């Protein structure tokens, strides 16, 4: 079973790639955001640690779960607080993923296990993945997508793109590059071709 990390800039179409992969019976797809949300639920490993890190802060909804808007407001307005939350959540996510991969390898039913995270490279998933894939899309297409799907202004898009890794930085650590400038059908064919090659390597 290949354990593969998916990365790429905002608007590159990673969600579409993951949707295509998720439709395969021989493949499992896991998203860092979904794992983080799970681990922050009441009774889960990160829940109590975050509460203890911010005594006196109004972080919870009436049902005892985290008020995500309130939590986001706190951590995005203070770099130190964001670092504290990341220091709790990111290692827990990584351990969850490692355990999930080990479990699937033990079962022996899958050929591929894909994991997507915004900070895949920064969190050094290259050290635990078999390889990383870079989803590449031209900047012009990404700008059109971000305006259409998220309603971002040109200024905001420029700001986001400037804060992300360059194509060269992504390519330096990724074994495969999936070009997503074309149609969904073209994307499906490219992914199928790469996976077919992996099976026969």
Picking from 16, 12, 36, the residue whose alpha carbon sits closest to that of residue 160 is 12
Query: Contact at 8 Å (CB) between 179 and 185?
Result: no
**Tens digit of each residue's pLDDT (9 = 90 or more) over 120-141:** 999 999 999 999 999 999 999 9
Q: Is 108 left (phi over 0), alpha (psi -120 to 50) or beta?
A: left
Is this prediction's pTM over 0.85? yes
**Tens digit of each residue's pLDDT (9 = 90 or more) over 90-113:** 999 999 999 999 999 999 999 999
The angle formed by the CA atoms of residues 32, 53 and 80, to the nearest 5 degrees, is 75
pLDDT attached to residue 201: 79
Separation of alpha carbons 85 and 66, rounded Å:
13
pLDDT, the chain, mean: 93
Mean pLDDT for the stretch of residues 31-46? 93
Separation of alpha carbons 173 and 139, rounded Å:
20
Separation of alpha carbons 133 and 91, rounded Å:
22
């Amino acid at each position: 079973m290949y354990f593969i990390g998916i990365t790429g800039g905002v608007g590159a179409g990673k969600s579409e790639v993951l949707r295509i992969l998720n439709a395969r019976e021989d493949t499992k797809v896991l998203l860092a955001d979904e794992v983080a949300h799970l681990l922050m639920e009441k009774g889960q490993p990160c829940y109590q640690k975050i509460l203890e890190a911010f005594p006196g802060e109004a972080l919870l909804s009436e049902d005892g779960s985290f008020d995500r808007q309130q939590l986001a407001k706190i951590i995005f307005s203070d770099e130190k607080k964001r670092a504290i939350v990341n220091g709790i959540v990111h290692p827990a996510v990584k351990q969850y993923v490692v355990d999930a991969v080990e479990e699937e390898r033990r079962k022996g039913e899958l050929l591929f296990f894909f994991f997507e995270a915004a900070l895949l490279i920064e969190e050094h998933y290259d050290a635990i993945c078999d390889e990383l894939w870079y989803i590449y899309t031209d900047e012009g297409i990404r700008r059109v997508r971000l305006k259409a799907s998220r309603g971002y202004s040109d200024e905001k898009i420029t700001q986001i793109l400037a804060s992300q890794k360059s194509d060269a930085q992504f390519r330096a650590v990724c074994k495969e590059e999936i070009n997503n400038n074309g149609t969904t059908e073209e994307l499906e064919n490219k992914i199928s071709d790469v996976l077919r090659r992996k099976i026969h390597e």
